[in-house]
Amino acid sequence: MGLSRLKQKETERLLIKDNSHLENIVKERTEKLEKVNKKLEEDILQRKIIEKNLKESEEKYKQLLELLPYGVCVRDEEVILFSNKTAAKYFGFKSTDDAIGIKLSDIFSPHDDYKLDLKKNWEGLIKTGYMPLREEHYIRKSDGKSIDIETVSSIISNNESTKTLVVFRDISERKQLEHMKQKNEEHKKRLKEKIEFDRLRTEFFANLSHELKTPVNLIFSALQLLEVETQNKIMNHNKINNRIKIMKQNCNRIIRLINNLIDITKIDSGYLELDLQNHNIVSIVEDITLSVADYIENKNVSLTFDTDIEEKIMTFDPYAIERIILNILSNAVKFTNTGDEIIVKVNDGDDNIIISIKDSGVGIPEDKLELIFDRFRQVDKSFNRNHEGSGIGLSLVKSLINLHDGEIKVDSIYGEGSEFIIKIPVKQLDIIHNETPHQAPEYANNYIEKINIEFSDIYS
């Protein structure tokens, strides 16, 4: 009994100890569990706060996207996956949902290079991942409105697919303003040109009236003197011949002016046709040059003709070439002084014949070189010079050369002289004329008359 009692007590003691240990373990684990639950509650609360902040941030960004004046959309090539309100409105939809899943080709009428541009743009995006600011033009199908935009594009990539983010703005109004500005500039330019043309025309008619009035006055004065001398029976043959010479020269001036006006009017109206023939242009130019040799040398100006070819049969209008050479030679005489020289050259350029008329006269100012072939322009506008002119001679020369499919240019150094260079393409008619009009006596006589007409505005 005593031993059993002892064992019982020992068992009870051990049980009490075990229970105490278990209580400690339970207490300890309970405390840990409470800490875990508390941490979990804190984490849940923090997560809710984060979710709330994320939702608020998402709403803010969404509002920002919706309020942006720029269109923003995400595309899978042509298909729209996302669109803000501005983009949807631009596409012609009332809401953003209406734009989702729609192809661009269903929204806009493609221009000629639309598909090519789209493919090229997509390939460029895939290669670089970005497309800088560029302008694009479209026509909206829903209302036919023409729209211009500026776009910036970039790639949005993930493991599954590649999308394109596009940000754009409508610049149609700006383009319209630019177009209006351009039209306004063009209008101002045309107005300026019209004012300049009116000024030139007024100046031309003022000069033309002088051109007509001066020879008429001289003719009338000579006639008055002849009338007085006849009435008084003063028959001085030298004076009579001098009066007749003055009248003939000034009649030639009027004829020259009228001929130029008629020819330039025909050219402007497209009615002047060349009398094209096959002739030796070298002989024609040489004969024209030599025919004015005596006249030029009487002015104490030397005249030289030179050529590197004796014969060049080609198609041209002999009368037109005559007008061209005589006009340039008369200009050379006008702007040369005593002791100067004039050199006429003909060079063979195989496919072209090149005629050069060079003088050692006063030259042309650099700022006037581009004006000398303009209609009604004159380098020297004073009425007190030793020659006159209407300002259409060189314009007529250029027009006649253009009718031959040729070209003319001038090289000049002010104070040292000028060189007119004519280039005419070598062509031939199927039928070669046997007639050589430059050798006919009556044609040679005509030279004298034509020289007198062409040189009539150079005073002796």
Which structure tokens are listed for 118?
């789209």
140, 170, 200 - which closes a domain: 170
Decide if 20 is inside a domain. no
Decide if 17 is inside a domain. no
CA distance 35 to 126: 53
CATH number at residue 261: 1.10.287.130
CA distance 83 to 72: 6
Of 61-75, 266-280, 367-381, which one has max mean pLDDT? 266-280
113, 140, 170 - which closes a domain: 170
CATH number at residue 165: 3.30.450.20
pTM: 0.55
Q: pLDDT (tens digit, 9 = 90+) per residue, 130-172?
A: 778 888 877 888 888 888 888 888 888 766 677 888 888 888 8
Secondary structure of 8-22 in HEC code, one letter for each residue: HHHHHHHHHHHHHHH
| 154 closest CA partner among 145, 146, 164, 162 | 164
DSSP 236: -
pLDDT value, residue 355: 94
Pair 360, 403 in one domain: yes
User: Across the strands, what pairs with 306?
Assistant: 345
Enumerate residues 6+ apart whose C-beta is below 8 A from 162: 126, 155, 156
pLDDT value, residue 384: 39
pLDDT value, residue 439: 45
Pair 299, 439 in one domain: yes
Decide if 175 is inside a domain. no
Domain span at 221: 181-266
pLDDT value, residue 197: 77
CATH number at residue 302: 3.30.565.10
Q: pLDDT (tens digit, 9 = 90+) per residue, 239-250?
A: 788 888 888 878
Sign of CA dihedral 254, 256, 259, 262: negative
Pair 125, 94 in one domain: yes
Pair 322, 399 in one domain: yes
Bridge-based pairing state of the strands 407-413 and 417-425: antiparallel
DSSP, residue by residue, 173-194: HHHHHHHHHHHHHHHHHHHHHH
Pair 329, 288 in one domain: yes
pLDDT value, residue 401: 92
Min mean pLDDT across 220-229, 239-248, 379-388, 443-452 is at 379-388
The amino acid at residue 102 is I
Percent helix, percent strand, percent coil in the chain, to nearest 5: 55, 20, 25
229, 249, 266 - which closes a domain: 266
Sign of CA dihedral 60, 61, 64, 66: negative
The amino acid at residue 247 is M
Pair 84, 129 in one domain: yes
DSSP, residue by residue, 65-99: HHH-SSEEEEEETTEEEEE-HHHHHHHT-SSHHHH
Which structure tokens are listed for 176?
């319209």
Domain total for the chain? 3
Pair 103, 220 in one domain: no
Pair 342, 407 in one domain: yes
Mean pLDDT of all residues in 404-432:
87
pLDDT value, residue 457: 66
Pair 190, 113 in one domain: no
Buried/exposed code over 19-53 (b: 16+ C-beta within 10 A; e: otherwise): eeeeeeeeeeeeeeeeeeeeeeeeeeeeeeeeeee
